[in-house]
Structure 1
């Protein structure tokens, strides 16, 4: 059990389980992008650990960029996605792999979808470590899913609760009261 701010969290996914999911995703990406030079576009802050691991396992040439958006206050999505830090390179005509830590409502994805359309990318695929199918409300295809999980609030492996917990190498879920 761990305490972050005012909430308690209990162990949920081990580092081993997370690494196994990342290995499988990396195998798929290596197959699908063999001979290509994709741009991996990580969504900060949450995806930094996942992005690092995926990129280390990618066997071909690639470029890396990041975008920062936010929609959370505490444990709830505000529903209002704010662009906090934009792209620092042109993606026109490029193949992009969007790296998300978690997809729940899909609001962030919808915002990034608009950004990528304006950029004129050749195509893009969505890669997420965690996917909450019961929370997902959008129609954007999630191409690569590490793990499907219930709609519970989790921290660790890049995910936080009001800034804490990102550095945990395992994932914890909010303890039910």
Structure 2
């Protein structure tokens, strides 16, 4: 695929990381866990991850936006809220990538105010060089440089989410 400059993580590598993260999450919790996927990007990663968590889980989704095109607006908006109450529950937020940290910082505060017993974050990727606010992330798959990555849920203009790997998108596509 000519639009992909480089494959960073193959499907096999991502699946192995999901197994490792699932084992860690299983070891860290007792009882029921509310797993909250952030739409749309987290869906492929979350689908693989939850198969590896050996606990009773409830899944739910939120859709939030802080991006316009390829840049963040800095303002986080909830487009779809949770169906389940978080009060008194252990909550695991699942995200595809942590970039500026603004979205997850905002969501963590919202869920704390709603009375969650505990809140942890699991992200397939993190880009620490882009961070604007600190986000305490307990479970991270991979740390990546400041490159435009797609695949395994991550997109550019809604394309490339279905790639079974994580790759760097060629600048020619988005510049």
Normalised TM-score (structure 2): 0.91
Alignment partner of 1:31 is 2:64 = no
Q: CA deviation at 1:170?
A: 0.9
What whole-Å deviation, never above 9, does each CA across 1:113-156 have from its counterpart, x for those lacking one? Answer: 12202211011111111011111222231111111111111111
1:151-175 CA deviation, whole Å, 9 max, x = no partner?
1111110001011111111112122
Question: Quick one: distance in 2 between partners of 1:76 and 1:2?
Answer: 24
Q: Which of 150, 154, 157 is equivalent to 1:155?
A: 150
- Asked if the contact 2:100–2:130 (Cα under 8 Å) also holds between the matched residues in 1, the reply is yes
Quote the residue 2:115 is aligned against. Answer: 120
The CA RMSD over aligned residues, in Å, is: 1.5
Deviation at 1:94, TM superposition (A): 0.5
Question: 1:99·1:127 contact (CA, 8 Å) conserved in 2?
Answer: yes
- Whether contact under 8 Å (1:40, 1:62) holds in the other structure is yes
Q: What's the offset of the Cα at 1:77? A: 2.1
TM-score (normalised: structure 1): 0.90
SS in 2 for 1:140: coil
User: Is contact 1:2-1:10 (8 Å) kept?
Assistant: no
Instruction: Name 2:167's counterpart in structure 1.
Output: 172
Aligned residues: 172
Matches for 1:69-148 after TM superposition, within 5 Å: 69-148=64-143
Distance in 2 (alpha carbons) for counterparts of 1:166 and 1:174: 12
How far apart in 2 are the matches of 1:88 and 1:115? Answer: 14
Contact map agreement 2:11 2:165 (CA 8 A) in 1: yes
How many Å separate the matches in 2 of 1:76 and 1:173?
17
Q: Distance in 2 between matches of 1:110 and 1:141?
A: 9
Question: 4+ runs of 1 displaced by more than 4 Å?
Answer: none
Structure 2: gaps (5+ residues)? none
Distance in 1 between the 2:150 and 2:72 partners?
A: 14
Partners in 1 of 2:133 and 2:159 — Cα distance?
A: 28
Which runs of 5 or more residues in structure 1 are unaligned? none
Q: Distance in 1 between matches of 2:5 and 2:61?
A: 29
